[in-house]
Amino acid sequence: MASDTSQATVQVSTSAVAQGDGAHDSHGPTGILRWVVTTNHKEIGSLYLLFSLAMLFVGGSMALVIRTELFQPGLQFIQPEFFNQMTTMHGLIMVFGAIMPAFVGLANWMIPMQIGAPDMALPRLNNFSFWLLPVAFGILLSTLFMEGGGPNFGWTFYAPLSTTYAPPSTSFFIMSIHLAGISSILGAINIIATIFNLRTPGMRLMDMSLFVWTWLITAFLLIAVMPVLAGVVTMMLMDINFGTSFFNAAGGGDPVLFQHLFWFFGHPEVYIMILPAFGIVSLIVPTFARKRLFGYASMVYATAAIALLSFLVWAHHMFTVGIPLVGELFFMYSTMLIAVPTGVKIFNWIATLFRGSISFEVPMLFALGFIVMFTIGGLSGVMLAIVPADFQYHDTYFVVAHFHYVLVPGALFAIMAAAYYWMPKWTGYYASETLGKWHFWLSVIGVNLTFFPMHFSGLAGMPRRIPDYALQFADFNMLSSIGGFLFGFSQLIFVWVLIKAIRGSGEKAHAHAWEGADGLEWTVPSPAPLHTFDTPPPFDPLTESPSRH
Amino acid sequence: MSTTHARAGVRRTVIRTLCVLVGMVGFTLALIPLYDVFCEITGLNGKTANSAQVVSAGEVDESREVRVQLVTRTGTGLSWQLQALDPVITVHPGEISQAMFRFSNRGDITSSGKAVPSITPSAGAEHFRKMECFCFQQQSLMAGETLELPLVFQIAPDLPEHIETLTLAYSLYPGDEDETVALGGAYD
Ligand SMILES: [Cu+2]
């Protein structure tokens, strides 16, 4: 412990010097323009995170429009055409605008600091990757005001709904998907280049934090599947505008081909949204259990196994399109196989907790909430993997319940956990414990009230994506709507917490903000100065590696 | 760590990553023809051959009966009706049978349409052999005209045992626009 403290002091002085150096050559613009042209990984990270927070509220408002309409059976507030646009835009914005950019923002902030690098490997590219996003989502949101409305074919944009029967704005939708895709690809290249080349001397791959590991694997997934997404939307564009028939049965094409291509992208995409969350939880659980992570190496291998298996399961989204029996069996078993490495992870987290001296600060609450509720989503996923059962569940609210459990109390809770965990490092102040606990508990109640009843309405046969429903689903839907509003408005508490921390009201954080925390980011002062690790920090695998024994 | 060293490393990583990226773009482009070839060999997307096939050799299996359901639907943009005169027929594997379909143009202009077949379950697609079919080319009908056209087919004797019913679905789509315009012009 003594050596830790002295090292932290050394680090503080070097980064103070570094900051002084930085001040000399930073004659950059000030004010708003400074944020537009910044190449600093921390500032770009903040931009990503604030952008995704804004998108969370935009996408969340659309979810509340949906829940308002579904509060009671019948059509009360909006027309089916607009309802379809809301379900589509809600999905697109949450997936591509909220969850993915939030993880990229966390990567920007934390990966250089966790591997002892001064910045990302390609800082100017980093700026470009970010600024593509507001353009992409500006275009996407503008389609709502165009003639014929915005995309209304579901976030999975199945052809021919998204080609032959699509609104005229679809070409703009395709453009925005292209831009968001390019942004993701460039971000992934940057992350891979940073991790492979800028680690502090002495840090081997198996010495990296699990957040860095999971992001490295995620970046490879992005490189592999984003071109497939780009290809799919390009084919749509050609079917719509240039008379080709990739997905048009009348011209000899095949709509089912669209689904194969989309889900070849889509299933790895699901892991793009969850692997970094695994990394975050793997940092927070050991910190607040005051133990080292159980099974570091098995965590890395399990992550890699999940990523590889994700390429072999796509047709589990298409069990009902009429694939032959052997195909159904193959995709059923390969899907169930993923439960094995995922189970390894959950086992490791529980083993880390076992006999730990656990305390329940807000980041830990969100991480524990993640473990419990992500597992619920995982179990309904195994149910959906069973082919004969899936024929019953397909396109019902059971599916909606499943993927919201893995994405909201899964991915989103992990992002929240990360925000509470690193807020002292970002702002220099701890997030308010009292407000944070209100945020957590109201979110837990809200999220379960929203999505748990959907399991039942789905099993009872309520189809998804329809603005009206049969009377017997009324009670479940009313509960879901009440929960949705509770969850949605609880997120405003987070905004309050964030503003308080940025303004500097609350408990001041020191460099090593959490006593049980491991990692180089805790050796620099809080708040982290603009420039850190201009000279690579010393790193001793024997005492500092998360894989040490 | 020297910065030039790191910079060279970054360049190398970026080039390698870009190669993977280009590879994936190529893979995506290759998936389209691969999918078509794969489906043509296996019949997995329920598509049948789009030109006349020869009769498959082999005994007519009198001991086995297969129900063939004939389903029709009309896509948007065509004011036609397509009807199978006998919606369900029972055949023996190996036997050559004929089914009649009635095309009627309910619109008030001459137009052309094309019937696109699909077989369910898809495992039966390659065993459904068509000797003669209106689906090989597009049809042109004058306003109010009705036409009856035959489908001559055979179910190959090696149809998998577990298939007892085959559904043949025809979807009617508007024909090639250029041709429609040309024909329409001829009648005006
Ligand atoms: Cu999947």
Q: How large is the average pLDDT for residues A190-194?
A: 96
Which residues of A are catalytic, by number?
Answer: 90, 119, 155, 183-184, 267, 269, 271, 282, 316-317, 342, 345, 464
ipTM, 2 dp = 0.84
Q: Which residue of B has its CA nearest to A192?
A: B13
**Residues of chain B found within 8 Å of residue A197, distances taken between Cβ atoms:** 6, 9-10, 13
Q: Which residue of B has its CA nearest to A185?
A: B21
Cβ distance A324 to B121 less than 8 Å, yes or no, reads yes
DSSP A299-339: HHHHHHHHHHHGGG-GGGG-GGG---HHHHHHHHHHHHHHH
* Mean pLDDT of the residues in chain A: 92
**Residues of chain A found within 8 Å of residue B114, distances taken between Cβ atoms:** 250
Q: Please tell me which of the candidates A197, A252, A260 has its beta carbon nearest to residue B6.
A: A197
pLDDT value for A254: 86
CB distance A440 to A369 below 8 Å: yes
A239-248, A516-525, B126-135: segment of lowest average pLDDT? B126-135
Name the more confident of B129 and A384. A384
Give the closest-approach CA distance of A138 to chain B in angstroms. Answer: 27
CB distance A263 to A317 below 8 Å: yes
Q: At what angle do helices A275-289 and A413-427 cross, to 10 degrees?
A: 60
* Chain B CB within 8 Å of residue A246 CB: yes
Q: What is the band of A26 on the pLDDT scale with cuts at 50, 70, 90?
A: low
Q: How large is the average pLDDT for residues A358-377?
A: 97
Distance B50 CA to ligand 1 centre (A): 34
Cβ distance A250 to B46 less than 8 Å, yes or no, reads no
pTM of this structure: 0.88
Give the closest-approach CA distance of B10 to chain A in angstroms. Answer: 5
Structure tokens of B6?
A: 């790191």
What confidence tens digit (pLDDT) does each residue in B159-172 have? 888 888 999 988 88
**Residues of chain B found within 8 Å of residue A201, distances taken between Cβ atoms:** 1
CB contact burial A382-413 (16+ within 10 A = b; e otherwise): eebbbbebbeebbebbbbbbbbbbbbbbbbbb
For B74, the 3-state DSSP assignment is strand
Q: What percent of chain A has pLDDT over 90?
A: 87
What confidence tens digit (pLDDT) does each residue in A481-526 have? 999 999 999 999 999 999 999 999 889 999 999 999 989 999 999 9
Beta strands per DSSP E along A372-455: none
Residue linked to tokens 């399991």: A455
